[in-house]
Amino acid sequence: MIETVHVNLPGRSYDVVIGPGLLAEAGARVAPFLRRPRVVIVTEDNVAPLHLDALRAGLEAEGISSESLVLPAGEGTKSWPFLEQTVEFLLAQKVERGDIVIAFGGGVIGDLVGFAAATVRRGVRFVQIPTSLLAQVDSSVGGKTGINSVAGKNLIGAFHQPTLVLADVALLGTLTNRDFLSGYGEVAKYGLLGDESFFDWLEVQGPKLKPLLNGDNTVSSDAVSNDVIAARVEAVRWSVQMKADIVERDETEQGDRALLNLGHTFCHALEAATGYSNRLLHGEGVAIGCAMAFEVSARMGLCSQEAPSRVRAHLKDMGMKTDLKDIDGDLPDADALLALMGQDKKVVDGKLRFILARGIGEAFITSDVPAATVLGVLRDGLAAR
């Protein structure tokens, strides 16, 4: 049940290996890239108690020693203080260019550690072992690394491709339901931006992917069936293959890669408005942003009104946030949210680029979006709160 997606970039190609039980195989899979039997691991304090020992055991099985740094979980870790802590740790461990740094966690750890690896000694190699669904399907692949600024999300960073990605889908069973669904926002995005057949598949298979829940809505420790594991492998494989195809065409986001930002212009503004806090997880913002992008598209006559309705219906079937009213607490007014969008990386020549759609699976990039239409969607969403 192991699948491999190859990311073909001249001189920087790598494999994304997807399947259950990959932590136990980590040593065997990392060893071919090592010049000496030693790695440095950076992880966070939600992942470490659950999985760090298993990763170490997988490495030790091949005679690979490791040292680890455990950082706080949460979006706040993608910041200057923790970047400095990570860089100084790597230097204290005397990491050399020929060594491997392992980013072991969700998207926050992957982005932070990848950026640290890009800067230490002007670039050391790193391996992504993503532990969240969001990281497995999106942030661990493609080489975008970075931290947040007070001016906006992911505004400081570098393109630095990993040497290897190990996506162990067995780890998804320990995610909370909310964290899993946050990652599902990125999975759904792939079907919405470029492959309606994938979205069709998700409408049928999506509910099967979710963690098993106890009566009190906590995650069950019951073993999931082989069918569920297989469905998770397929969802991750399909998402990663779509991203790999786009990254191969446009590694540094000069064109097509911007399609991967479907929903993100709204999302990043909402994350800034909520202080990058637990009020809104990234994938939740992506889901809301995708629904709003389709709503803007429908109001501009680019797609039918049935398209945003279908988007919201599937996300609601999965138990996800779909509208501004689903965000707890106060939000700025529509004009302030539009101003936050202006800080997004997708501003080019002073114009905000949106990813809109002509239908499910038919996204495109445009700067020709009337501000009044965007404000109307925002105002309607705020009025419904």
The DSSP element (H or E) to which 71 belongs, if any, is strand 65-71
CATH architecture of the domain with residue range 177-383: Up-down Bundle (1.20)
What mean pLDDT is predicted for residues 223-246? 94
> Each residue of 266-278: pLDDT tens digit?
999 999 999 888 9
Contacts with 20 (C-beta within 8 Å, 6 or more apart), sequence order: 1, 168, 169, 170, 229, 233
CATH number of 3-174: 3.40.50.1970
**Catalytic entry in 160, 189, 282, 346:** 282
Specify whether 314 is catalytic. Answer: no
Specify whether 46 is catalytic. Answer: no
Specify whether 148 is catalytic. Answer: no
- Categorize the per-residue pLDDT at 348 as very low, low, confident or very high, splitting at 50, 70 and 90: low
> Each residue of 331-343: pLDDT tens digit?
999 999 999 988 7
Buried-exposed string 74-93: b where 16+ CB fall within 10 A, e elsewhere: ebebbbeebbebbbebbeeb
What value does the CA radius of gyration of the chain take, rounded to a whole number of Å?
A: 20
Specify whether 282 is catalytic. Answer: yes
- What is the C-alpha separation between 232 and 167, in angstroms, rounded? 11
Residue 264 has pLDDT above 60, yes or no: yes
Specify whether 385 is catalytic. Answer: no
Specify whether 264 is catalytic. Answer: yes
> Each residue of 149-196: pLDDT tens digit?
888 788 899 999 999 999 999 999 889 999 999 999 999 999 999 999
**Catalytic entry in 51, 144, 210, 353:** 144
In this prediction the pTM is 0.93
Residue 350 has pLDDT above 80, yes or no: no
- What is the C-alpha separation between 304 and 297, in angstroms, rounded? 8
Query: What percentage of the chain reaches a pLDDT higher than 70?
Result: 97
The DSSP element (H or E) to which 53 belongs, if any, is helix 53-60
Residue 292 has pLDDT above 90, yes or no: yes
> Each residue of 74-126: pLDDT tens digit?
989 999 999 999 999 999 999 999 999 999 999 999 999 999 999 999 999 99
- Average pLDDT value for the chain: 94
Q: How many residues does the chain have?
A: 385
Residue 346 has pLDDT above 60, yes or no: no
**Catalytic entry in 268, 345, 346, 353:** 268
| The pLDDT value given to residue 316 | 96
Point out the least confidently predicted range of 67-71, 211-215, 288-292: 211-215
- Coil/strand/helix, residue 225: coil
| The pLDDT value given to residue 349 | 62
What mean pLDDT is predicted for residues 48-69? 98
Amino acid at 124: V
**Catalytic entry in 125, 261, 284, 295:** 261
- What is the C-alpha separation between 299 and 142, in angstroms, rounded? 33
| The pLDDT value given to residue 347 | 57
Instruction: Dig out the tokens for 381 from the structure.
Output: 């969403």
Residue with tokens 């039980």: 21
What mean pLDDT is predicted for residues 210-225? 75
> Each residue of 297-341: pLDDT tens digit?
999 999 999 999 999 999 999 999 999 999 999 999 999 999 998
**Domain boundaries defined on the chain:** 3-174, 177-383
Specify whether 144 is catalytic. Answer: yes
Residue with tokens 């890669």: 257
| The pLDDT value given to residue 152 | 79
Tell me the CA end-to-end span of the chain in Å, nearest whole number: 44
- What is the C-alpha separation between 332 and 337, in angstroms, rounded? 6
| The pLDDT value given to residue 352 | 80
Residue 56 has pLDDT above 60, yes or no: yes
Residue 294's region, left for phi above 0, alpha for psi from -120 to 50, else beta, is alpha
Specify whether 122 is catalytic. Answer: yes
- Coil/strand/helix, residue 102: strand
